[in-house]
Structure 1
Amino acid sequence: MTGSPRRRAAVLGHPIAHSKSPALHGAAYAALGIDMEYGSFDLTEAQLPAFASRVRSEPGWRGLSVTMPLKAAFVPLVDRLEGLAAELGVLNTVVVEDGQANPVLVGHNTDVAGIVESFRHVGLGRVGHPVVVGAGNTALAAVAALSQLGAEQVGFLVRDAARAGEAAALAERLGLAVSLGPIDGGAARLGAADAVVSTLPPRAADSLAAELAGLPATHDGAPRVLLDVAYDPWPSRLGQAWAERGGVLLHGLEMLVYQAVEQIVLFTGREDAREPRVIDVMCDSVGVPRRTA
């Protein structure tokens, strides 16, 4: 008699060799005593439909972590979107549910929780003057997170204002006042912000970093926090310039830890994945400071 198939999950993206998700998920499943295989698949958008069909046909699948450039491409392949994924139109998580006849693929977005918890971890539970650098898919999650943190306005620094429409429209739907400005020459706006999420790829913010480094440090005592989602190389030039001016710099891997925690809850139903003991071993697995440190 054959037993039940081993539970499986994986991270999808292109490229994917750099992904820290296998380390994060593996550490959490070991701490929770869960037998779960977690792999990685390098897939382009063109290859994604065939892989989604494979997940539907192979037993054992519990979930998928979805990274760039697949976060929007996977949306039409799921059976439904839930929560913030439906609001944003972008997912980073797919849960495989048992259906009556066939598995059901459900899209979620845990990037928002990753950003919110990263800020809360350093004591910034409410933001007043946030700035988002960039306007792509991660910027959508940043806007939703800043709204949850009490923002009433958000500024965007972008290379092309015409490409910021989706992020700006989301902010307006959430009741946030929106202002747009160019990245070039945007250092003063950045320096006046209390919370910044940089969503640009590595090195893409180097010119902004150089401008920021030329500004005098502020000494008004207000907390200023930058979350830079580009974590390789680390610190980024932008992050280094921010820290040299006395700001708090959040490693992009912190967001990755907290969004992975919510994925694990969705894949396994184990809410104790949110316990500090589990988060600590996840932090250890990728070399970021422990939550309880």
Structure 2
Amino acid sequence: MEETEWLAERFEQHRPRLRAVAYRMLGSMAEADDAVQDAWLRLGRSDADQIDNLGGWLTTVVARECLHMLRSRRRREEPRLPEPVAIVDGDLDPEQEALMADSVGLALLVVLDRLSPAERLAFVLHDMFELPFAEIAAIVGRTPAAARQLASRARRRVNGAELPSPDPDLVRRRQVVDAFYAASRGGDFDALVQILDPDVVWTSDFGTDGQRVVRGAPAVARQVRGANGGRLHPVLVNGVVGALVTVDGRPFAALVFTVAGDRIIAIDGLRDPERVRRFADAAGIPPPPVTSPAREGS
């Protein structure tokens, strides 16, 4: 028992990095946690005394599991928005501040989703976590030179994507999004158009029903009417301002805003019920109270 506890303690020291690797690989914290849990199970079946570099061994196991999951996803799924990481907007504790500081924007995760599984693994492990190409080559089953080429191709695609640069001032971003909320609730079309960048992009993910993309301020302004009875809960999502939309107390949608200057340049929306529920759970927003059905004659 003592040996198991000792091993578990050592594993927990590596868990934050393993989750970070897996999330960047998969774009889903739920799937990332599955990959990390698989690494723990594999460790329990291995002779830990024979592992010289536990962190490297665990990273390799997680990376291989992520590669397998990416290949399976590519065969069976339609493209979808990555699953964001949410924290209730407000005073952050040190752990939450660290998570936000280390967060990856949804725009980058979308670009990573366009890479092949091997390209994504090479880019994430080398460019984000500084693993040498010799170790990456062993994971993807190629030579170090081929692994270097994978990362290079991925890097060119990421650099060529012209990812939006959010305003670093969180207070300013909140003010812009608050103005958006006010204009949306008031049905003020002209005010919405002024808050939105002329080339703003609105992306909605409906899960198995696919994505919908709307471009341009007038077209997006017509899409942002709030649901009847909807309530907005401010959250921080992958380091940027967002909101959970609830209707009658139940999670309805998640919104993520990218702000540059005084305008919104991108809005990403999640409407897939299961993913929105996980988003609400991660943000710490409680579910609606369960009400008992009324008795007949009462």
- Bigger fraction of residues in helix: 2
Which entry has the higher C-alpha Rg, 1 or 2?
2
TM value normalised by structure 1: 0.27
TM value normalised by structure 2: 0.26
